[in-house]
Every structure is written in structure tokens, then in C-alpha cells.
Structure 1
Amino acid sequence: MTMNVNNNPNKPLVDGQKLAQQQQTTQQQNANNASTAQTQVAQTLRQDSVSLTSSAQQLSQLQKKAGDTQSINQEKVDKLKKAIQNGEYRINPERMAQKIAALESELFGIK
């Protein structure tokens, strides 16, 4: 069976089987292209990875500890607030410097 696909008498007639084969070939090519694209995306996803440095891991642990409200001694906080408000709180600069140095050493691995 032959048919005129474009309904144009000047165009040659196309065999229905050939048209069906062409459509099937096009569909297979599209499916293959889609499969190839999915494979490439999957390979790209497998190649991506994230790793945290030890400093980042320590920071994450410190943030978790800071978020833990149970570790706050509210009585001590209240005493310190009252002492600061009354002008009774005294700062020991040497001790503060030692504490800052110890914290930096812990955070940045400096010994």
C-alpha cells in the first residue's frame, strides 16, 4: 500500500512501511539519546563528593554544644549579669589571654 503523506501530488508517494520504520528508528534514537544522557548524569553524580576537614568537624561539634541549652548554668549567668550591672565584675587580662589562646589552639590545632 502506498500513500501520499503530504497530500501533495507533486511529491512522490511514500510507502507506509517505510514511514513506520523511519518513525521507529527515530524513536529508538531518541530513547538511546535519553539513556545516554541519564548515564552521563548518573556518572556525574557519582563523581561529586563532599568531605569535611577536621576543623569543620570540630566547628560542627562546637555548634552542637552551643545549641544545647541544658549546658547553660543560668544561676551563674544571673550572678555575672548582676556583678556587671553593679560594676563589681573584674577582668583578669592575663587569665583572659590564656583562655583565648587555649581556645584558638583547640579550634585551629595550634600547639
Structure 2
Amino acid sequence: MAININNLSNTGQVKQKVDQQTQLKKQNAQNATNTEQAKVASKDSFSITPQAKQLGDLQKKIEDSPIVDQKKVEELKKAITSGDYKINPEKLAASIASFEFDLAESV
């Protein structure tokens, strides 16, 4: 007569434990790979080309400069109020025509 102590004849539980251990080893290996990839990624670097630096400097100068030349505006105001500002009709007409021509081309 055979006595089954602690269900020793059942191999399903043993197989399940082995499968769990195998899966755990795979997860550990995957975690190690991810950690190694993260270390490699942290070693990346970049450099700024001289042209990019120059463009950045120019952009900063543009941002710092005023939009309106206040000195020129004041000079024109003085010239208009004193009557010294003279309008050249031919030059004004040519500028308007040029503006209209450029506007028509862009449409």
C-alpha cells in the first residue's frame, strides 16, 4: 500500500515552481539589459557648431534691439513741426508703385 506524503506524486507543482524560477531569471536578465542601455544612453553628448552659436548670438541681438528707432522718429517729428520736412512726390509715387507691384506678385 502506497502512502502519498505531502502530495509528492504530483509533478505539476514542481513544474510550476521551475517555470516561475525560469521566468524570474528572464525578467532579471531583461532588467539588467535595460539598465545597461540606460547607462549607454546617459553617455550621449552634443556640441553646438560655430554657425549655430553665431545664429543664437544674432537672435539675442535682435531680441534686445528696439522695434522702433526712437531717435529717427524724434528727428522726423522735429522736421515736420518746423516745416523742414520736404516730400518728393516722384519718389513717393515710385515707392507706392513698387509696394503695389511687390504685393501683387506675392498673391
Q: If the length of structure 2 is used for normalisation, what is the TM-score?
A: 0.48
- Greater Rg by CA: 2
Higher relative contact order (Cα pairs below 8 Å, separated by 6+ residues): 1
Q: If the length of structure 1 is used for normalisation, what is the TM-score?
A: 0.47
